[in-house]
Amino acid sequence: MVNLREKLYQMFILGTEGGNLDSALENNVGGVIFFTKDIQSVEQFKNLISHIKNKSKTSPFLSIDQEGGRVERTENIHSGKKYLSAKFAYEKGIDFLNKQTQQIADELNSYGINLNFAPCVDTNTNPNNPIIGERAFSSSVDEVIEGGILVSKIYRENNIISCAKHFPGHGDANADSHLTLPKIDLTLAEMEKTHIKPFKALVESGIEMVMAAHLHCTCFETQIIPTSLSQKALSYLRDVLGFKGVIVSDDMVMKGVSGFGEVEACEMGIRGGLNLFIYRYCDDKTLNVIETVYKRALSNEELFKNIELSYEKIINLKKVYGLIN
C-alpha cells in the first residue's frame, strides 16, 4: 500500500540541485526536471537518468523544457546546432515545424525523457513581453492553435507527454514571472477570445497536462493571487474548458509565487486544484515544505482528499504512457 506521504511526494517534480535527490527518490518523488547544467555529455546524462530510475520507488516523470531557441536544455551536447524557437520554426512552415519537433522527440527518447514542458501556447500580443516573445508560435490565435496541436500530437505519437503552457496565457504580460508577479488586466471575454482559446483547443485535442502560470489575472481574482494558486482559475480550466488531466505549476521558486510563503503557497495550490508542483531545487527547504504539508494533511480533510485525487491523476497518466503497469 502507498501511504499518504508517498502519495504527496508523487505530486512533486524536483531539480537535481540541493543534495537531497536520492532521499527524495526513496520517498517516492514524482519526477525530476533537468536543466542545462545537468546535461554535460550524452554518457553523463544517460548515467544520471539511469541512477534516478534505479533509485525511484515509482517510475518517475523525467522532464525537461525543450522548446527550442532560448529554451533548450541540451545545448552543451549539440556542438553548435540549435533548434529554432517556436516562432521561427512556425514561420518556416508546417513541414519544418513537423520535422524539427520529430527531431526533438527522437533526441529526448534517446535519453529516456518522457515529459517535455512544451508547447508554449501563449498568444504573444504584447511586443514588449520580456519572457514570451519568440517562444510563442505567433501573435495570431489560430496560428498558435495550429502550432500547438501539431507539436503536442508529435510528442504523443512518440510516447512523450507534452504540456500546454502557460495557462491562462502569458502573452499579454509586461513583466517576467521569474522576477515578479505580472498583472494581466483583461476581461474574461478578452482572455477567452485571444489567450484562453489555444488552451481550449488543446484540451479538446486531448492534451494530458497543462501548466498554470504565476500571473495575477484580474478576470479570475480581484485579490493578488497567482493563477497557479487560484481555485477560481483552476476550476475554470476544469469546469468550463473540461480539462480532465494533470495541472502542473510553473516553477515554485519563481518570484511570481515565492512571496506567498513556501508552505502556504504549496497548500494554496493543493486546495486550488494543482496536481503537480515543479521545484527547481531538491534542497532541505524544499523537502521541508513537503514534510510540513504532509503533517498538516494528516488532520486536514480537504488537503488529504486533494492529495488522493492528484495521486490518482498522476498514476493514471503514468499508466497511459507505459511508465507503470
List active site positions: 250
| Helix boundaries (H) for the chain | 4-9, 21-26, 42-55, 86-91, 94-111, 141-157, 188-191, 197-204, 231-235, 255-258, 262-272, 284-297, 301-320
**Cα separation of 177 and 172, whole Å?**
12
Would you call 283 helix, strand, or coil by DSSP? coil
**Cα separation of 13 and 282, whole Å?**
9
Would you call 281 helix, strand, or coil by DSSP? strand
**Cα separation of 202 and 199, whole Å?**
5
Closest CA to 64 of 92, 38, 46, 98: 38
CA distances from 251 to 12, 33, 37, 156, 276 (A): 11, 10, 17, 23, 11
Closest CA to 247 of 267, 270, 279, 224: 270
CA atoms lying within 13 Å on the CB side of residue 238: 12
Helix (H) or strand (E) holding 249: strand 246-251
Give 100's contacts (C-beta < 8 A, 6+ positions apart).
68, 83, 84, 89
Distance of CA 193 to the CA centre of its chain: 23
For the beta carbon of residue 216, count every other beta carbon within 10 angstroms. Answer: 22
Determine how β-strand 31-34 pairs with β-strand 12-17.
parallel
**Cα separation of 14 and 34, whole Å?**
9
